[in-house]
Amino acid sequence: MSSHPRRITRALLSVSDKTGLVDFAKALAGYGVELVSTGGTAKALKDGGLTVIDVADLTGFPEMMDGRVKTLHPKVHGGLLAIRGNKEHAAAMEKHHIKPIDLLVVNLYPFEATVAKGASFDDCIENIDIGGPAMIRAAAKNHIDVTVIVEPTDYEKVLGEMAQHSGMVSFELRQKLAAKAYARTAVYDAAISNWFATTLRDDAPDYRAFGGKLAEALRYGENPHQNAAFYRSPGERNGVATAKQLQGKQLSYNNINDTDAAYECVAEFDPLRTAACVIVKHANPCGVAEADNLLDAYRKALACDST
């Protein structure tokens, strides 16, 4: 295994989130990187004045089946998976006219957002990305040679290293981005499988996957010597995960746990019927009360155990 920096000479970009895309691609072009792209991404890049090779010209096959098939081709996956320096891989690339792809930039069809807005079953199905996860996994597997980016926030990290290493990216960053790539596809598949379970009203599927995105690092875990982080899963269910901290220091695990316990307990009361207040210590309610208004509910809850 080689840990040397790897030069980026060719990049494949196919994104649904086009934030910062054109500026990033222009920076790549400034290093002489050849750009390959698909559909709407290719159009955005061309509109931005960039020279782009369409993936259909690369593979020799047009996009088909409403875009379901466009990157599932050996000239794409061979370019991502070929081990540089492996004689057999190099011979296969030469025989089949496959060029290496050194950078993959893919963010997936917005399945989670499609579900969150209450889209129809058919729309949700069409927003299940197939080619994207396949390419991401291929590039991440071959991170010894290939850099993979799954969200725009990592553009500057890659450009920073290219500036530092004369157009190359370090093994350390390639490895971190590969780990992130696999985590992203795992969360994506978890969202899809859980949506299917909900749609089928299956409360106990044979396999249950959970995934989330980092909301914030926590001050410490359940005990001061432990580390902790708070992750938010897809969906719009109100609770501590959707709350906004207005003031105070960085939260700890216990802060999150206590807040969640208080929120879930007070949510048992009907806000149209009465006001309610819950006071929590170590995830256990030590005061719960209802009244005609919030102030009186608080006073009664405090009286339950003022200590």
Rounded-to-10 torsion of CA 280, 286, 291, 293 = -30
**Residue 101, CB-side half-sphere exposure with 13 Å CA sphere:** 29
Name the pLDDT band for 169 (thresholds 50, 70, 90).
very high
Question: Given pLDDT bands bounded at 50, 70 and 90, which one contains residue 109?
Answer: confident
Let me know if 141 is a catalytic residue: yes
pLDDT at 149: 96
H or E element that contains 300: helix 294-304
Residue 1 has pLDDT above 70, yes or no: no
pTM: 0.79
pLDDT value of position 291: 94
**Any catalytic annotation for residue 77?**
no
**Active-site hit among 43, 97, 213, 282:** 282
Q: How far apart are CA 291 and CA 184, in angstroms?
A: 46
Of the two residues 159 and 75, the one the predictor is more confident about is 159
Largest CA distance in the chain: 81
List the beta bridge partners of residue 277. 289
**CATH number 3.10.450.40 given to 213-304:** no
Q: For position 239, what pLDDT does the model report?
A: 86
- Sorted by sequence, the CB contacts under 8 Å of residue 70 that are 6+ apart come out as 38, 39, 55, 56, 63, 64, 131
Q: Is pLDDT above 80 for 24? A: yes
**DSSP string across 249-298:** S---HHHHHHHHHHHHHHTTS-TTT-EEEEEEETTEEEEEEEESSHHHHH
| pLDDT tens profile 229-261 | 998 887 667 888 888 889 999 999 999 999 999
Residue of 141, 157, 176, 281 marked active site = 141
Average pLDDT, the chain: 89
The residue ranking higher by pLDDT, 176 or 73, is 176
Tell me the fold of 6-199: Rossmann fold (3.40.50)
Predicted confidence at residue 2, as pLDDT, reads: 56
Mean pLDDT, residues 117-141: 90
